[in-house]
Amino acid sequence: MSMLGDRRGPLEEHLGERASAYLDGELDASERAAADAHLAGCPACRAAMAGERAVRDAVRALGPVDPPPGFLDGVLARGPQASAHARVRRRRRVPFGLAQLAATAAVWIVILGFGINRNADGVAPDTDGYVTAHAAAAANVMTGGGASTGTNSTEATGTTTTPTTIAPTGAAPLPSRLGDFVLVERRVAPGAVQAVYSRGDEVVSVFVQAGMLNPRALGRGAERVNIGGLPGYWLRWRGNDVLVFQRGAAVYTVVTPSMGDVDRVPPDLPATRAPSPSLGDRFRAAADGLTDCFGLAG
């Protein structure tokens, strides 16, 4: 009783490829009657049918998938882009420096809510200016201008703005702490708001600009990276890791001194630096937080 290739009467012929059509109601009446007659007497075909049905139902049960927040807004703002260059670069792994940034992912939960003006041409972060601004802020922190860990100071000496300046319209106030990181300074950088957080001797600046990111303006050194499903761009600039990404209608640029690539990092990191959830999980959590807190889903 081979299942393959033999031609017999309809009652004896196994269903083979007709099983799918039977299951999907794609057989005509006479084919279906023949298949029913065969199935009644063929446990093997009934079992095969059950297996195929289970598979089909498992695929049908897959739910809708939400695009990454901001993705469709970005496409609408920029127009759809052919992605040849992104495709080449896409598989790049996120370097370890970004893992440190991800440890501060909660930063981004906070900073949405600035007044937003759309810029149809797309905006580009002033990478060089940001790195300079970050270096100045970090130096200020290190020379005692910033808060020491454990204090709750939100206004450091050297602060150039007041909170009302950085939160023009309906902004959530910047929290004084983000996990282990303490807000030590807020500034207005050229064209953007800068929030400076520190943890021990680690300093991270987050710059927020209204508008839609124009990735081309980042230059050839920027590599597209994928962090837990969120697209972003990473580049090295004067010894810093710079991560740029779109959230809602604002462009975020995170600057922190480069920590080196994964390969160069010893496997045993200090416990305080070892992120327990995966990088992707942290970014997802941050993204969800952004959306939940401010209702600014893409």
Partner 1 sequence: MSTPPTADGHVPTWEEVARTHGRFLYTLAYRLTGDHDDAQDLVQEVLLRVRRGLTTYQAGSLEGWLSRITTNAFLDEMRRRKRRPLHVVPDLPEPARGVATDPESEIARQRLPDEVQAALAALPPDYRAAVVLSDVVGYGYAEIAEALGIPIGTVRSRIHRGRAILREKLT
Binding footprint of partner 1 on the chain (CB under 8 A): 16-21, 24, 26, 47, 50-68, 71-72, 75-76, 79-83, 86-87, 90-91, 224, 226, 229, 231
> Residue 26 — φ and ψ, nearest 5°?
-105, 10
Alpha-carbon torsion (239, 241, 245, 251), positive or negative = negative
Q: Exposed, middle or buried: residue 218 (CB in 10 Å: 0-12, 13-18, 19+)?
A: buried
For partner 1, the closer CB: 55 or 274:
55
For partner 1, the closer CB: 67 or 179:
67
> Residue 10 — φ and ψ, nearest 5°?
-55, -35
CA 288 – CA 183 distance, rounded (Å): 22
Q: Exposed, middle or buried: residue 271 (CB in 10 Å: 0-12, 13-18, 19+)?
A: exposed
Report the nearest approach of partner 1 to the CB of residue 23 (Å): 9
In one letter, which amino acid is 60? R
Report the nearest approach of partner 1 to the CB of residue 71 (Å): 6
For partner 1, the closer CB: 4 or 54:
54
For partner 1, the closer CB: 16 or 179:
16
For partner 1, the closer CB: 5 or 80:
80
| Long-range own/partner contacts, residues 235-240 (CB < 8 A, 24 or more apart) | 235/127, 237/127, 237/128, 237/131, 238/128, 238/131, 240/131, 240/134
CA 27 – CA 15 distance, rounded (Å): 11
DSSP label of 245: E
Report the nearest approach of partner 1 to the CB of residue 86 (Å): 7
Report the nearest approach of partner 1 to the CB of residue 252 (Å): 18
Are 247 and 68 spatial neighbours (Cβ–Cβ below 8 Å)?
Answer: no
For partner 1, the closer CB: 63 or 266:
63
